Structure 1
Amino acid sequence: MSIAIVDPSDPQYEELLAQPSERVKTPENKVENTTFMFELSDDEDDESPDVRFSTTSSPSTASSSSKRRSEDDGSSDCEYRHKRVKKSRGSSASCSSDPLHLPRLVDDFNDFCDTPQTAFVDKTRVLFQLPTQFRYLLLRPPKFGKTVFLSAMSQFYDVHSARRFHEYFESPESPSSDHNQHLCLSLTFWNLPVDITAEDFAEQLRSNLWISAKFFLVKYARELGLTAPQSHLAHEEVNPLSKLFDLVKSSGKTLFVGVDSYDASLLETIFSPIGDSDTQQGCATTEDFARIFDEQLWGPLQEAADDIVPKLLVTGTLSLQTPMLRKLLVAAPTYLQSCCGFTVDQALDFASSIPHEPQLDVAEIRAKCGDYLFSPDEGIGEPVIHPQVLIDRIAQLTSEPSEGEPFRLLSSLFDLLPFESDVPNVVTIEGLIELVVSGVVEIEPTELHAGRDLEGTSVFWSALYRAGALTRVRGSESTFRVAGGEALSWIHSRIDQLVHNRYYDFKDGDKEHHFLGALLMYQQTPQPLVDLLSKVLRDQTQHCLGKAKEPSLPGILELTMCNAQLISSSKFPEHILTPPPDASYARVYGYSTDSILRWELTTLTLLGFWRAANLNDGEPSVEALRALHEELCQEDEEKLLARQYSVWSDSLQAMETRAVETFFNPESVYTQLIAVGGARILRREGPEEVLPLPPRKEEEVDDQLDDQDEDDSFYE
């Protein structure tokens, strides 16, 4: 029997609740998710009714799953579930030899269990490690698998799922004793309008909570001892959750509460910024959202937590530290590092289960999808890759539509960035350039845990970490690097035009530089390109003086040789900052001969030269570094090669001082480039620098070359 409830304030609401479903249009002035569906099992053998829920914003999960089953071969639900469980045992979907489908964006754990034709990675074993009581906040980038993990937890703890526990979960030798022992309350807050007053937003949130509470009471009426559950919660109830918690407490039951995307309202303000300033003045602010959620959600949860909520998981992307949240939640423990996202092995198994050409390998997966670490601890295991980026890449190779938009938040944050700012730790366009040229950024733990990812239109570096652009450097509490090639491409989209304007065509003293001309002539006369790259290195070093990190040679090449405004993005084989993990050289596109240039890169920092000249003198001042940099810029190559440099020696397990010339490897077969103190790039050509590429049948000459005047002056 199905019951559709369209408008809880309808005078005939109670009659609708007791009658078979009949679709009714949602009133225009109501939020989309005020329309919902109960599906109650009529199976007399069930210990309790099987109730599932859906809103008008997405099709019924049960209906969509059934539709997909019937479209495939019409097997019964039991048969499909049995086959699905066989495939799901183990770490990934590769246990089945049959080709599988990519998951849809709306699929949750129930869909994966009910539709064996969908590829998925089983992350449920970590559930057996959870303690009997917890209140965790799990923050992960968008589209990272948080909703799927939360829905798996609901199945794991729900009393209604006890009969199917061994179908859905592969128990370890000592399985958890408290699975399927709780009533499960699931909350999510997408589709709440944000361009309204604080008073109206409070009413919309109250209505959302009322719907979730009403559904909960119907689903667990038997456990709660309610013969007419719809009569226990009036639509005018001021705080629906407090009423629900009172009923649960009276029944002697306990709850697992899962809150999905707790920061959805804040994200909506970023995705859909409110119009003009006059309209903005009347709309709810971030502070209003925090206060209203404290009053209607976090406050009631805090009051009920000790008595009836032994297990609470809240997921989201950005960190919002309201007063109640600070009291209620702690950060998810390190053993949940891989509860969302795929390990490399899982990613390979997932990709191999879906036919596509060319087949993805480890190098491409890691370079494009990223390596994400969410804890600074050394012993947390291997990093995970972004699941939606992998899904989108496979969709691209199989010509399927891609709907994930894993970096939509990052793109929206970039739209807020100023060119420069005097506010500490605020991301700027210049800051993004510094991130690329140095490869890393420092985010202090106090900033990361302050709950201040955004402040008005100011974006802090912690927000870029939350959005998936950055990942931790293993073993460091404060150092972060660009997560992967896809994230790096989004960063390029924000800075490439500015870099192009600076370096495509400029004068350095009385000498003119033309970037494309120098690149075209590199294999005949390499020095013009080396001089141009040295100019970029000097500029960036001067800009970074006194800051935590200096420019690196890979970063300088990433900024220029992987710049889609300077060079066609289809030309460079891979990002230089995210090479394969075992790469011994950088691969740069040889523009004039359609080849790959193999360069070994070494960066000798300005600080290393200062320490060699000032042994045991502590840390240098900015003025001292600036003076040394100017000195290095004036020296010729012979003097630079004789310069002493202080560097750590693995063989000595101590610092040693060496001449710059010793950093060139005479046995190398590839061309070597050494950045010397942010002042010059020195080059030694190798016999196997150029790697020819096979001709590309459909490739056309870049339009950028057609209009170039190829006279001698162009290449000067």
Structure 2
Amino acid sequence: MEESFNDEINGVLVDFIEKYAKELGHPEVGNLIKTNNPTQSLKDVLKLAGKSGHTLFVGVDEYDAPANNSVFIGDTMGMPDAIKKVGQIEQFFKETFFAPLKEGCGGLGDRNAIISKYFLTGVTPAFRAGFSPLAEAIIVSDERELHGICGFTENEVKTIVQHYLREDEQGADGIIHTMRKLYNGYYFASSDYNESDPQPPLLYNPHLVFRYIRKYNSNGIVANPQESTAVHSTHVLKSISDIGEFSVDDLLELMISGSVKSKIHAEFDSADLLSIGKDRSITLSLLIYLGVLTRGPKGNLRIPNEVIKTEVLERIHNYLRDQDAIRPLLGPAFDNLVRGNINDFVTLLEAFFKTRALRSFFSTNEAMLQNIVVLILDKPSYRVPELRLVIDGNKGKGEGRYGFHPCDDYNLWRADVR
């Protein structure tokens, strides 16, 4: 890690010196860059910038990536040795990188500060306090006025699609129709919004937008949409146990009801990561910061889009396959339903409800039933998001019909089941 850190920091500083050579007085790069001591290189470059009479705007992207990579990879997830390793990484970066930056920022309101603005992205609260000496850093991602900096709006995505893929407005609309379901849906501001017209508008994950567009440009179609790149979301979901204070059962309830209430922690310690899958509010807070969940219209937490939903469903599906009352019914229910026979599906649905609390049965509405169908029918990676279950409330008992019927919308089919 140290060797990689040396190369990265010194490489960035060399690029900076060469780009702003005139403003810095055409310094000798060799006099500033210390090959085995990038911390001193950083201090010397900051000192030189200060002497030139200029101030700096420093940006740090993927701020807590080193700590995330230590905690959310492999079998160390949530283990004490992983947390201990995070502490060591925190100390390393604090001394070698963030301490010089803090010195460059000066004291609060210091007119002689070399760094006038300091902007960080990818900050998970678990690492903010220990990882950065800048205790006065302000969290802005939940501010309504700055919501747009957290992702792409649909208008921005449309502009990118038209420019990069050279599509007219009609062609771009078709591409965005697909991308909207897959990658849109993020809302970070700590304020309510109108679901039919969210303001500020819901956001797209920029990284996934570009990956989708590049793949579309190469192949002309994206048959297998790119998986989520939410930071280590798969590892976090796997850490949620079958039984506990926060378990897969809580994910099930989230999927069925569509949203969940929870307090969001703006600050917590890296040691709190040991509580993932145990402490409900810590777990849900981490899931929102990692992009697995986002804010709903009334402040509740919800799953933002189809790509993330598939990841959550994978975890739930594995859980259901371990349930003796459910496992043998899953395959026959799906196989026979697509052949027009709903009997095995009804049996599966009854068995599923027997595993839920009685209140779940009585509070179930059509939307919740649709979510249950998504949960229990087929393997999530083979799921067809456009498949919908519609309950015909006008029919009396014994007047049922079933089968797949096309709707006006070309990409939507409904299975009418009574």
Alpha-carbon distance in structure 2 between the residues aligned to 1:317 and 1:684:
55
Alpha-carbon distance in structure 2 between the residues aligned to 1:469 and 1:368:
13
Partner residue in 2 for 1:341 = 151
Whether the 8 Å CA contact 2:234–2:311 is kept in 1: the answer is yes
> Paired residue for 2:114, among 308, 321, 330?
308
C-alpha distance 251-386 of structure 1, shift in aligned 2 (>3 A): closer
Deviation at 1:343, TM superposition (A): 2.3
The AA in structure 2 aligned to 1:321 is: R
Deviation at 1:481, TM superposition (A): 0.5
Structure 1 residues 550-597: Cα deviation after superposition (integer angstroms, max 9, x where no partner): 7765345423445464799356634xxxxxxxxxxxx22xxxxxxxxx
Structure 1 alignment gaps of length 5 or more: 1-192, 194-200, 507-512, 575-586, 589-597, 600-669, 674-682, 695-716
C-alpha distance 553-232 of structure 1, shift in aligned 2 (>3 A): same
Alpha-carbon distance in structure 1 between the residues aligned to 2:74 and 2:372:
30
Identity percentage over the alignment?
A: 17
Partner residue in 2 for 1:360 = 174
Whether the 8 Å CA contact 1:378–1:474 is kept in 2: the answer is yes
Whether the 8 Å CA contact 2:316–2:375 is kept in 1: the answer is no
C-alpha distance 326-541 of structure 1, shift in aligned 2 (>3 A): farther
Partner residue in 1 for 2:139 = 331
Partner residue in 2 for 1:263 = 64
Partner residue in 2 for 1:254 = 55
Whether the 8 Å CA contact 2:306–2:385 is kept in 1: the answer is no
Partner residue in 2 for 1:468 = 291
Partner residue in 1 for 2:87 = 287
C-alpha distance 242-543 of structure 1, shift in aligned 2 (>3 A): farther
C-alpha distance 300-691 of structure 1, shift in aligned 2 (>3 A): same
Partner residue in 1 for 2:35 = 235
Q: Secondary structure at the match of 1:554?
A: helix
2:256 is the counterpart of 1:437: yes
Alpha-carbon distance in structure 2 between the residues aligned to 1:375 and 1:498:
33
C-alpha distance 416-239 of structure 1, shift in aligned 2 (>3 A): farther
Alpha-carbon distance in structure 2 between the residues aligned to 1:228 and 1:363:
53
Deviation at 1:537, TM superposition (A): 3.5
Alpha-carbon distance in structure 2 between the residues aligned to 1:283 and 1:532:
42
Alpha-carbon distance in structure 2 between the residues aligned to 1:393 and 1:387:
10
2:220 is the counterpart of 1:398: yes
* 1:523-602 correspondence runs (5 A): 532-541=348-357, 554-563=367-376, 565=378, 569=382, 573-574=386-387, 587-588=388-389, 598-599=390-391
State the TM-score, normalizing by the size of structure 2: 0.71
C-alpha distance 300-283 of structure 1, shift in aligned 2 (>3 A): same
Partner residue in 1 for 2:410 = none
Q: Secondary structure at the match of 1:331?
A: coil
> Paired residue for 2:273, among 446, 455, 459?
455
Q: Secondary structure at the match of 1:321?
A: helix
Alpha-carbon distance in structure 1 between the residues aligned to 2:359 and 2:70:
34
Alpha-carbon distance in structure 2 between the residues aligned to 1:310 and 1:250:
15
Alpha-carbon distance in structure 1 between the residues aligned to 2:134 and 2:394:
52
Alpha-carbon distance in structure 2 between the residues aligned to 1:465 and 1:298:
26
- Give the helix-richer structure, 1 or 2: 2
Alpha-carbon distance in structure 2 between the residues aligned to 1:568 and 1:296:
43
C-alpha distance 282-473 of structure 1, shift in aligned 2 (>3 A): closer
Q: Secondary structure at the match of 1:440?
A: coil
Partner residue in 2 for 1:584 = none
Alpha-carbon distance in structure 1 between the residues aligned to 2:174 and 2:386:
15
Deviation at 1:541, TM superposition (A): 2.5
C-alpha distance 318-551 of structure 1, shift in aligned 2 (>3 A): farther
C-alpha distance 515-331 of structure 1, shift in aligned 2 (>3 A): same
Aligned length: 374
> Paired residue for 1:421, among 227, 244, 247?
244
Q: Secondary structure at the match of 1:339?
A: helix
Structure 1 residues 631-659: Cα deviation after superposition (integer angstroms, max 9, x where no partner): xxxxxxxxxxxxxxxxxxxxxxxxxxxxx
Which protein is bigger by CA-based radius of gyration? 1
The AA in structure 2 aligned to 1:330 is: I
Partner residue in 2 for 1:381 = 200
Alpha-carbon distance in structure 1 between the residues aligned to 2:191 and 2:343:
45
Deviation at 1:301, TM superposition (A): 2.0
Alpha-carbon distance in structure 2 between the residues aligned to 1:431 and 1:263:
27
Whether the 8 Å CA contact 2:67–2:90 is kept in 1: the answer is no
Deviation at 1:489, TM superposition (A): 0.8
Alpha-carbon distance in structure 2 between the residues aligned to 1:475 and 1:463:
20
Q: Secondary structure at the match of 1:327?
A: coil
Structure 1 residues 358-380: Cα deviation after superposition (integer angstroms, max 9, x where no partner): 97376644333231101122475
Alpha-carbon distance in structure 2 between the residues aligned to 1:342 and 1:233:
37
Whether the 8 Å CA contact 2:313–2:380 is kept in 1: the answer is no
* 1:33-72 correspondence runs (5 A): none
Deviation at 1:297, TM superposition (A): 2.4
C-alpha distance 273-387 of structure 1, shift in aligned 2 (>3 A): same
Alpha-carbon distance in structure 1 between the residues aligned to 2:380 and 2:53:
67
C-alpha distance 340-686 of structure 1, shift in aligned 2 (>3 A): farther
The AA in structure 1 aligned to 2:53 is: G
The AA in structure 1 aligned to 2:241 is: P
Alpha-carbon distance in structure 1 between the residues aligned to 2:385 and 2:226:
26
Q: Secondary structure at the match of 1:245?
A: helix
Alpha-carbon distance in structure 1 between the residues aligned to 2:6 and 2:257:
48
Q: Secondary structure at the match of 1:256?
A: strand
Alpha-carbon distance in structure 1 between the residues aligned to 2:73 and 2:55:
38
Alpha-carbon distance in structure 2 between the residues aligned to 1:377 and 1:567:
32
Alpha-carbon distance in structure 2 between the residues aligned to 1:556 and 1:370:
24
Partner residue in 2 for 1:223 = 23
Partner residue in 2 for 1:322 = 129
The AA in structure 2 aligned to 1:263 is: D
Deviation at 1:348, TM superposition (A): 4.2
* 1:37-186 correspondence runs (5 A): none
Q: Secondary structure at the match of 1:258?
A: strand
Greater RCO between the two (CA within 8 Å, min separation 6)?
Answer: 2
The AA in structure 2 aligned to 1:371 is: G
Alpha-carbon distance in structure 2 between the residues aligned to 1:518 and 1:405:
26
Alpha-carbon distance in structure 2 between the residues aligned to 1:442 and 1:321:
24
The AA in structure 1 aligned to 2:386 is: P
Q: Secondary structure at the match of 2:356?
A: helix
Deviation at 1:535, TM superposition (A): 4.7
Deviation at 1:255, TM superposition (A): 0.3
Deviation at 1:495, TM superposition (A): 1.5
C-alpha distance 473-563 of structure 1, shift in aligned 2 (>3 A): same
Alpha-carbon distance in structure 2 between the residues aligned to 1:563 and 1:413:
22
Cα RMSD after superposing both structures? 4.4
Whether the 8 Å CA contact 1:515–1:532 is kept in 2: the answer is no
Deviation at 1:480, TM superposition (A): 0.4
Structure 1 residues 174-227: Cα deviation after superposition (integer angstroms, max 9, x where no partner): xxxxxxxxxxxxxxxxxxx3xxxxxxx4x6535543443344334333322244
Structure 2 alignment gaps of length 5 or more: 194-198, 278-282, 408-418
Partner residue in 1 for 2:319 = 498
Alpha-carbon distance in structure 2 between the residues aligned to 1:473 and 1:399:
31
Alpha-carbon distance in structure 1 between the residues aligned to 2:267 and 2:183:
26
Alpha-carbon distance in structure 1 between the residues aligned to 2:20 and 2:330:
72
The AA in structure 1 aligned to 2:311 is: W
2:405 is the counterpart of 1:692: yes
State the TM-score, normalizing by the size of structure 1: 0.44
